[in-house]
Chain A
């Protein structure tokens, strides 16, 4: 199979965004986080595709849609390896790795049920840090409790 043929396993798009190198198991989560299950744009996705870097990967292509940084940040938590590729007229215009930001606002729920953000309409704010096992943790600005990656729930 030629390289060109491989790329076309998921249809090429004329204008829009390709999100590549998503961990295969995170594709559906990325779709949900970005609200692609509710969009009226054309969305293609593939899971368990071959990847030189990761073994398997997932990919999502969205026609006629570009993303703001704050939206991209949302997926960095579940797909830190993802690449955002902007396509215009079938050409790659830019290619960016998503980055886990130093702070995460509004998009994640605090794990602590007694946190004020779960009691009143308060936008959540977290500081991102890594613990001694290098696991990602989110420190709540309000209750000061840490939410670990496994407990992350998106708002």
Chain B
């Protein structure tokens, strides 16, 4: 994928995704190499995202590359009213690759059309966050030994969860059985379900979390936010129904792993953390290897 921008997971075929995951595996075995020596990576976080930014910056620095950029729009020329286009054109002059996070949907695609260097989308508003999707796929494959024919449960806010949408669409390439657990107000949008149907795959929808517990190989947790409910009473009714507690995992499959894109607030109680089925912190670590694989392959160095 030399010189190619990574904007949306939907731009990638199954083969291309697997190639990136394989490369990430080789970086996991050997994460400190000097292959980015002399390369300058711009890290433009118009919207703060500490976790994603640090993961990228750690990935680049472990490979010997240097980082320029900013961690929030407040410390950039956006503050002075500069357009995204002008910022991207300018930073293109200073760097070999741009990692960009922006609060506006579609900003990454636009930046990739304007920039003379490749763009990696580190999240564009409510739209895409492809590196999160790839690290989720990497974590699933690593813990299950395969991506094919798995029972995967998505729990919580399936309506607004960007990571859930991207990952669901990506998993339709792998013959997944989908178990969708959410309050009725926060069901997976029909536009996303259409992808499941078009792939001739099955999904089931649940409101009771415990119904899926014995069935799944992966539980992908998300947070239900109070502000998603116009009526606060509706939130009060469901707020405790989708919290994962350690004793709920009794009776689940041995190979089950619990994933979460983080940050967690209260949707997984801390007593789960010491359960070997908890995988969310390792999942975050996998993000470093996946980002190393992406940066290296886009720069034509792996």
Taking beta carbons and an 8 Å cutoff, which residues of A are in contact with B?
Answer: 112, 114-117, 119-122, 131-132, 140-146
Contact = CB atoms under 8 A, between A and B. Distances in A.
Interface string B1-27: 000000010100000000000000000
Contact of B110 (A112, A122, A145, A146): A122
Contacts, number: 51
B71 interface: no
A117 B105 CA distance: 9
A142 B105 contact: yes
Question: Which secondary structure dominates where chain B touches chain A?
Answer: mixed
A128 to B, nearest CB: 15
Chain B, interface residues (CB within 8 Å), range: 20 to 34
Given A143-B106, A143-B127, 20 more contacts: A112-B105, A114-B104, A114-B126, A115-B105, A115-B106, A116-B109, A119-B84, A120-B85, A120-B110, A122-B110, A131-B194, A141-B106, A142-B105, A142-B106, A142-B107, A142-B110, A143-B125, A144-B127, A144-B128, A145-B127
A109 to B, nearest CB: 13
Contact of A114 (B8, B125, B128): B125
Interface of B: 8, 10, 83-85, 103-107, 109-110, 124-128, 191, 194, 197
A117 B127 CA distance: 14
Contacts of A146: 191
A122 B112 CA distance: 13
A116 B107 contact: yes
A116 B104 contact: yes
What are the 5 closest A-B residue pairs judged by CB atoms, nearest first? Answer: A142-B106, A143-B105, A143-B106, A116-B106, A116-B110
A144 B127 CA distance: 7
Nearest to B103: A114
Of A112, A132, A142, chain B has the most CB atoms within 10 Å of the CB of A142
A80 to B, nearest CB: 23
21 contacts: A114-B103, A114-B125, A114-B126, A116-B106, A116-B109, A117-B106, A119-B84, A119-B107, A120-B110, A131-B194, A132-B197, A140-B106, A141-B106, A142-B106, A142-B107, A143-B127, A144-B106, A144-B127, A144-B128, A145-B105, A145-B127
